[in-house]
Amino acid sequence: MACLVSFALACEVGTRSGRGLRLPDGDVDRGARAFAELGCGRCHDVVGEPPAHAGARADTIVELGGEISRVHSYGELVTALANPTHEIAGGSRDREDRVVDGVSKMELEGFNERMSVAQLIDLVAFLQSKYERRPEPIYVR
């Protein structure tokens, strides 16, 4: 019984829950334009797109898109764009080229003040179109 109560409490939906969040569908082409207009290419390459960063060091560029083992959910991409410090990976938390005092440089650049909701929606559509789920390997005994 204690396990069931613990499980029920863990599933509680509070006021800060993302439950029910669903923005309108975005447009991939408008998302590509927003990516360029917002200057995202200064720090990001997108698989399948020509590089847009002039003069940046290759080790500072964060690649987006490509094959991944787990699909990035809609909510994860919205969070990554609107709250980039939220999921800074442990290995990159101290990278001076991406983080200042534990805060993402993307956040410090003020993207939330410059990015419209429409651009956010379209950027999510653009980025989702650039990821491909890598099939899990099949192991034969």
* C-alpha distance from residue 25 to each of 5, 10, 66, 112, 125 (Å): 37, 30, 21, 19, 7
What was the pLDDT predicted at 3?
45
Between 141 and 4, name the one with better pLDDT.
Answer: 141
What was the pLDDT predicted at 129?
92
d(CA 27, CA 78): 14
Which residue, chain included where needed, has tokens 């950027």? 123
Relative to beta strand 99-100, strand 103-104 is antiparallel
Mean pLDDT score of the chain, rounded to an integer? Answer: 77
What was the pLDDT predicted at 93?
47
Between 115 and 22, name the one with better pLDDT.
Answer: 115
Q: Please give the average per-residue pLDDT across 105-129, as a whole number.
A: 90
Residue 133 has, within 13 A of its CA and on its CB side, a CA count of 6
Q: List the Cα angle 121/73/78 in 5-degree steps.
A: 35
Tens digit of pLDDT for each residue in 33-77?
999 999 888 888 898 888 776 655 666 678 888 888 776 778 888
Residue 90 has pLDDT above 80, yes or no: no
Per domain, the residue ranges of the chain are 24-133
- CATH of segment(s) 24-133: 1.10.760
Between 119 and 88, name the one with better pLDDT.
Answer: 119
What was the pLDDT predicted at 56?
59
Burial 89-127 (b: 16+ CB within 10 A, else e): eeeeeeeeebbeeeebbbbebebeeebeeebbbbbbbbb
What was the pLDDT predicted at 41?
86
Relative to beta strand 44-46, strand 62-64 is parallel
Residue 12 has pLDDT above 70, yes or no: no
Between 134 and 37, name the one with better pLDDT.
Answer: 37
Residue 86: both structure tokens together: 């939220």
